Structure 1
């Protein structure tokens, strides 16, 4: 193994460093999906209101994040907003902010779709028994919508994990950055280092994302109406 390209993976603390980088990737995705879900639920509910203004701004917010690439948002916040406001934010913090806002936009659309897909007669029945709007959402709409939201939300989480590879461009030491550092230090003595290092990174992403994809498909099939 000493003379083979894969040996670079087992030198020093390389394996540990890659796992630590993977934890950074997972941390960004996990925190962002949690915060994004909380904000997204509010956005989704407002987009089902009768207010055309709320619907318009909710739709505008979604389209802004869908049209402008996430990488551009990372640059805007990291280089632009921090400079304009004279604040010092780490790459990690900027990543969580951007991914939270993106997640909120996507979750908001998922919530809107789930709520609007519910049969209208259930809303009418809830109103007929005297439920307030709050009670209507709490006891009838939200519990049913959650079952429709979860598979799509899990799929969003897998997209978010994969997209975190962009944060390396604003200085975050994630699994991709660690891999690049290992390759830079090893490329002269181990020319095939990049193949093995990126191969391991592929496996690490697969270990996280594939189970989530399978879970989403199973839940979608189980809860399909």
Structure 2
């Protein structure tokens, strides 16, 4: 029995690997989008513009109030119907995860920047730094320690949430596993392999987040 299970996993490995590649690609691109978008969000949110803050708040609340799955359906099915714009399911998943992740990362960046002593901004301004230079050379580097652990946790959520892409037709690792189960009826074995995959991807990130949080808390 054990040998047949191992044989099944070996036979299924190429299909699972292709699905895992799709999952990792969606997650990596979503994380990249979320990181750059989140930093931009955080910087804009600390500029002191009332109207800009209102727009950012609306954006944040839309992604907090509406589940990611609904956003996937809205973008994948809604854009072709209402705007005649069709996005491949892979890029639809990347876009939605990136926008959702950017709203979460953006709040972390905003909080980290606002927690810095006001004197840091004033010191940067006093030596002639302005605009992007103030953020790039003074504020963001100092906020990095405060925002890295929670941002890593958001990354793990993006990876796990990427499994929703199966519902718009992306053949990622969950879909690949389901196809194998439909063919072999070995649900426990395949879902066990999927569990192991997500654990091996997400646990190191979670562990790194905890280590950094403890280390920097005593720095």
Shorter-chain TM-score above 0.5? yes
Q: How far did 1:7 drift?
A: 4.5
TM-score by length of 1: 0.91
**Unaligned residue ranges in structure 2 (runs of 5+):** none
Deviations 1:97-131 (A, max 9, x none): 11111111111111101101111122223333343
1:105-120 aligned at under 5 Å gives the runs 105-120=103-118
More helix by share: 2
User: Which residue does the alignment assign to 2:99?
Assistant: 101
1:136 positional shift? 2.2
Mapped pair 1:221 → 2:214: yes
Whether the 8 Å contact between 1:41 and 1:111 is mirrored in structure 2 is yes
CA contact (8 A) 2:79 2:86 kept: no
Contact kept, 8 Å, 1:21 with 1:173, in 2: the verdict is yes
How far apart, CA to CA, are the structure 1 residues paired with 2:21 and 2:67?
24
CA displacement 1:29-66 (0-9 Å, x = unmatched): 10111122112211111111211111111111111101
TM-score by length of 2: 0.93
Using the TM superposition, give the Cα deviation of residue 5 of structure 1 relative to its aligned residue in structure 2, in angstroms: 5.0
Q: Give the number of aligned pairs.
A: 218
Larger CA deviation: 37-46 vs 125-134: 125-134
Gap regions ≥5 residues in structure 1: 188-192
Question: How much has 1:2 moved relative to structure 2?
Answer: 7.1
RMSD (Å), alpha carbons: 1.7
Q: Is the 8 A contact 1:161 1:209 kept in 2?
A: yes
Counterpart residue number, 1:204: 197
Q: Deviations over 1:5-29 (max 9, x none)?
A: 564323x3x1121121111111101
Q: 1:111 to 1:2 in 2, by over 3 A?
A: closer
1:184-208 C-alpha deviation (Å, 9 max, x unpaired) = 0112xxxxx1011000000000000
Paired residues of 1:6 and 1:196 also in contact (CA < 8 A): no
Aligned pair in 2 of structure 1 residues 53, 184: CA closer, same or farther (>3 Å)? same
- Comparing 160-169 with 214-223, greater Cα deviation is found at 214-223
Question: Are the aligned partners of 1:114 and 1:148 in contact in 2 as well (CA < 8 Å)?
Answer: yes
Secondary structure of the corresponding residue to residue 131 of structure 1: coil
Correspondent of 2:67 among 58, 66, 69:
69
Aligned to 2:144: 146
CA gap of 1:138–1:179, structure 2 versus 1, over 3 A, is same
How far 1:154 moved relative to its partner? Answer: 1.2
**Equivalence for 1:195:** 188
Q: In the alignment, is residue 49 of structure 1 matched against residue 42 of structure 2?
A: no
Shift of 1:82: 2.3
1:155 equivalenced with 2:148 (yes/no): no
CA distance in 1, matches of 2:129, 2:163: 46
Q: Which residue of 1 aligns with 2:77?
A: 79
Q: Distance in 2 between matches of 1:114 and 1:71?
A: 29
In the other structure, the counterpart of 1:185 is 183
